[in-house]
Amino acid sequence: MLKNLVWLGLITLCSSVFAQEPALIKKVDPDKQSILAMASSPDGKWLVTGGDDNQVIFRDADNGSSLFKLTGHTDWITAVEFSSFDDDMLKVFASGSRDGHVIIYDIEKRIIIYQNKSFEKTVNDIEIINSLNYLVAVSSDGQMSIVDLNSKQEVNKITVSSSPVLSVCAIPGTNTIATSDAEGKIRIWDALSGSMGQIIDAHDSYIRSIDFMNKTIISVGDDKSIKFWDAERGNSKSSIEKVHKKWIQLVESANDNQHYATGGHDGMVHFWELGKSEPIFSLKQNGTFVTGVSFSSDLKKIYTAGYGGDIHYYDISYLKLEPIKKYQASVAYSANKPSMANLSNESAKNEVVLVQPYIERGNTFYCLEEKIVIKGQLLSKSSIREFKIINKTTKEEDRLRVSDNQIFEHHLPLRFKDNEISIRFTTIDGEVANKTIIVHRIFDQNNPDDLVKLTRNGRDYALIIATNSYNAMNDLVNPVFDATTIAAELENNYNFNVEKIINPPLDEIKLKIKEYSKKLYADEDQLFIFIAGHGEYDELFKEGYVVASNTKEGDEARSTYLPHSTLRTYINNIPCQHIFLTMDVCFGGTFDPFIAKRGNEPSKEEQVKKMLFIKRKMSYKTRIYLTSGGKEYVPDGRPGHHSPFARQFITALRTYGGSDGILTYQDLMSSVEMVEPQPRGGEFGDNEPGSNFLFIYK
């Protein structure tokens, strides 16, 4: 018996000696700030806190020293959040407050880029959906606000619950978000459409925090339990009961898809492994209750904070946690850096895909500029070791770094006449992909024989959206017929690449516009967007709407409509230099919030004049629109005879621009101006004076 007790004592002693717990690195004085929210930056530089002093404090993530402060709120800070700092996103930081305001800061310039009193009551939580560049905020007045980080505009406002909405989390890689509220419900939403997918009766009362990990939604609240839910089906997976002595204030997942932490009103922080019912370790936090838990980007430290207490830094490097995605410094090739939806890195071969200069026939591009802008994407089966662009004629060679999405944009000087340019990359496996082009810089700018060879640096695209059939509205007879005829004219006679969408629901319209926002465009590409179908106008909201096939009747909140203000923002932010929107819908004129043809085969000089005209007009950014009416209903027309507006539009297209083969925006306006009701046209967004949109007869 004594021998067994001795062995038991030795085992206990060894366990206490060799068991590892987080080492407290330091306690940080919060500068008289009682902390209510905390977050760490994706690059590992900052730990940020907000509290009852109405300001945000940025601290050194290593030593805890106060670096700088951001102001703008008039009441306690209750929510803080960073964007992911990915290459194709803005580097932003956002905060929410008891004052009902959401503020978004450009973190590099440290300036406010968006501020809106989104709610009447406290902002309880903020989440950034990285795949959409959307910010979602929820509040105690039961509302959810969705803000587009690109346009800095609120794109949706949704009533979620009659009780306070306490938390929101995003499902990575999707458009899906989840909210929790004081009624104990989790609601699943599509962030693009604002539609709700399902409701989960998760807890009996307050769900104070939710997070997502490994296809699982984790929820905590006043019943002191942790519950786990299948994010796709909504059914319960498991639960851990009574893990804190008082209610649980927050749950925070580590970026490894395996571990998470909970913080409670008992002042305790527990660290868990998913699927296990006992915590790996527990930490006592001073202060009234735990208000912040965050992890360093490399998962070597955990930060904890309590209301009225210090910030604690703990070393957890001994756990050897591996982040799913390590932060990488941004590599800038292009100001826009769109993620190309039409190109894929899942290539069967190594290849250079060139978007600009646009070489349609042969391999020679003719220009007047002293520098050429080269745009494209590298497709590779493995990592790229070296990337070069070489002008073999001038012997100029540039080594470039490769961004995460392998999109590049580079300015290369040219000598007069022929320049042989090689775009080449080598993979870590030693495989080489190469694309060679010839760019000819014209020497004599007064010689018609040379100028007639000038190459237009772009293509023409058309997105045609037409709806005849509606779930809750009267069907129409001509939109699809009109759109199909216009599409055929553009494709057959003006060399447009045309895509048609017939009877689409709201989500499909938004996703298709988003897809065009992700394409990479040449400088002289043009995009024509045509929308035909029902339209509505709300006198109270002073807003016009495009009606989708699945728009609901009696939708007072207009959540199943596409607002003109949202459509303007979406289209303006498509990174194509030249965009022309035409809408044949009722009340189309409310899209604006302010509501001579030429005959014989052209000579060489006329051809040169035509190309120089095209080049001149293509140098200005274009954002113009044309609608079939103003603030009124417009007729659909007799079946099979086109609407009055579409009939005149098609008639204008069939002039084919007269002898010079160029149909301009002004030509179209002249053709449709006699239609009743009178069409409306103008500019929007970032349109530049002198711009135009050209239909060039092939």
Rg (CA), the chain: 30
Contact (Cβ atoms closer than 8 angstroms) between residue 435 and residue 422: yes
Contacts 24+ apart (CB under 8 A), 88-94: 88/337, 88/338, 88/339, 88/405, 89/130, 89/133, 89/149, 90/133, 90/149, 90/150, 91/330, 92/128, 92/149, 93/41, 93/48, 93/56, 94/126, 94/128, 94/135, 94/137
pLDDT band per the 50, 70, 90 thresholds, residue 585: low
Asked if the model's pLDDT at residue 2 lies above 70, the reply is: no
Q: What is the pLDDT of residue 374?
A: 92
6-20, 372-386, 679-693: least confident range:
6-20
Q: How far is the CA of 553 from the CAs of 130, 471, 474, in angstroms?
A: 33, 9, 11
Asked if the model's pLDDT at residue 403 lies above 90, the reply is: no
674: exposed, middle or buried (C-beta count within 10 Å: 0-12, 13-18, 19+)? exposed
Asked if the model's pLDDT at residue 125 lies above 60, the reply is: yes
Bigger pLDDT: 656 vs 549: 549
- For the segment 270-288, the average pLDDT, to the nearest whole number, is 93
Q: How far is the CA of 141 from the CAs of 166, 271, 346, in angstroms?
A: 10, 32, 45
Tell me the range of 598-602, 642-646, 688-692 where mean pLDDT is highest. 688-692
Q: How far is the CA of 445 from the CAs of 454, 605, 608, in angstroms?
A: 10, 13, 11
3-state secondary structure at position 525: coil
- CA angle (178 as vertex; 172, 182 as ends), nearest 5: 150
Burial 149-181 (b: 16+ CB within 10 A, else e): bbbbebbbebebbebbbbbbbbbeeebbbbbbb
The percentage of the chain sitting over the pLDDT mark of 90, rounded to a whole number, equals: 43
Asked if the model's pLDDT at residue 426 lies above 80, the reply is: yes
- CA angle (160 as vertex; 98, 77 as ends), nearest 5: 15
DSSP assignment of 153-216, as one string?
EEEEEEE--SS-EEEEEE-TTSSEEEEEETTSEEEEEETTT--EEEEEE--SS-EEEEEEETTE
CA dihedral 356, 362, 365, 366 (to 10 degrees): -150
Contact (Cβ atoms closer than 8 angstroms) between residue 220 and residue 248: yes
- For the segment 288-293, the average pLDDT, to the nearest whole number, is 93
- Structure pTM? 0.50
Tell me the range of 52-66, 597-611, 684-698 where mean pLDDT is highest. 52-66
35-39, 130-134, 252-256, 515-519: least confident range:
130-134
- Tell me the C-alpha distance between 442 and 366, whole Å: 7
The predicted-structure confidence for 314-370, as pLDDT tens digits, reads as follows: 999 999 999 985 443 332 222 233 333 344 444 457 888 888 898 865 678 999 999
Asked if the model's pLDDT at residue 131 lies above 90, the reply is: no
Tell me the range of 264-278, 591-605, 624-638 where mean pLDDT is highest. 264-278
- For the segment 421-449, the average pLDDT, to the nearest whole number, is 89
- For the segment 653-681, the average pLDDT, to the nearest whole number, is 78
The predicted-structure confidence for 171-198, as pLDDT tens digits, reads as follows: 887 788 999 999 999 999 888 777 888 8
The percentage of the chain sitting over the pLDDT mark of 70, rounded to a whole number, equals: 85
Asked if the model's pLDDT at residue 56 lies above 60, the reply is: yes
Q: What is the pLDDT of residue 325?
A: 59
Bigger pLDDT: 127 vs 484: 127
**Which residues lie closer than 8 Å to 62 by C-beta, 6 or more apart?**
none
- Tell me the C-alpha distance between 672 and 678, whole Å: 8
Q: What is the pLDDT of residue 309?
A: 92
Asked if the model's pLDDT at residue 8 lies above 70, the reply is: no
Q: What is the pLDDT of residue 610?
A: 66
Bigger pLDDT: 628 vs 640: 628
Phi, psi (deg, nearest 5) at residue 202: -90, -45
Burial 421-448 (b: 16+ CB within 10 A, else e): bebbbbbeeeeebebebebbbbeeeeee
Asked if the model's pLDDT at residue 240 lies above 60, the reply is: yes
Q: How far is the CA of 599 from the CAs of 105, 264, 503, 610, 659, in angstroms?
A: 57, 82, 40, 14, 5
Q: What is the pLDDT of residue 249?
A: 96
Asked if the model's pLDDT at residue 601 lies above 80, the reply is: no
249-258, 264-273, 649-658: least confident range:
649-658
Q: What is the pLDDT of residue 133?
A: 83
- Tell me the C-alpha distance between 304 and 225, whole Å: 20
Q: What is the pLDDT of residue 404?
A: 64
CA dihedral 576, 580, 584, 585 (to 10 degrees): 60
Q: What is the pLDDT of residue 361?
A: 58
Contacts 24+ apart (CB under 8 A), 385-389: 385/426, 385/427, 385/428, 386/425, 386/426, 387/424, 387/425, 387/426, 388/422, 388/423, 388/424, 388/425, 389/421, 389/422, 389/423, 389/424
Query: What is the rounded average pLDDT for all residues in the chain?
Result: 83
Checking DSSP bridges between strand 301-306 and strand 351-356, what pairing results, if any?
unpaired
- For the segment 227-231, the average pLDDT, to the nearest whole number, is 92
Contact (Cβ atoms closer than 8 angstroms) between residue 426 and residue 386: yes
- For the segment 33-45, the average pLDDT, to the nearest whole number, is 94
- For the segment 435-440, the average pLDDT, to the nearest whole number, is 92
108-112, 546-550, 605-609: least confident range:
605-609
Q: What is the pLDDT of residue 127?
A: 95
3-state secondary structure at position 12: helix
312-321, 425-434, 645-654: least confident range:
645-654
- Tell me the C-alpha distance between 57 and 472, whole Å: 51
- For the segment 476-484, the average pLDDT, to the nearest whole number, is 83
